Amino acid sequence: MKNDSIEKRVILLAQYLIDSKDTVRGAAKKFGVSKSTVHKDVSERLKEVSPSLYEDVRKVLDENKAERHIRGGMATKLKYEKLSHYR
Separation between Cα atoms, residue 31 and residue 11, nearest integer Å: 12
Averaged pLDDT, 32-48: 96
Separation between Cα atoms, residue 26 and residue 38, nearest integer Å: 10
At 15-24, the pLDDT tens digits run 999 999 999 9
Give the global pTM. Answer: 0.78
What is the residue-wise DSSP string for 23-86?
-HHHHHHHHTS-HHHHHHIIIIIHHHH-HHHHHHHHHHHHHHHHHHHHHHHHHHHHHHHHHHHT
Longest C-alpha distance within the chain, in Å? Answer: 57
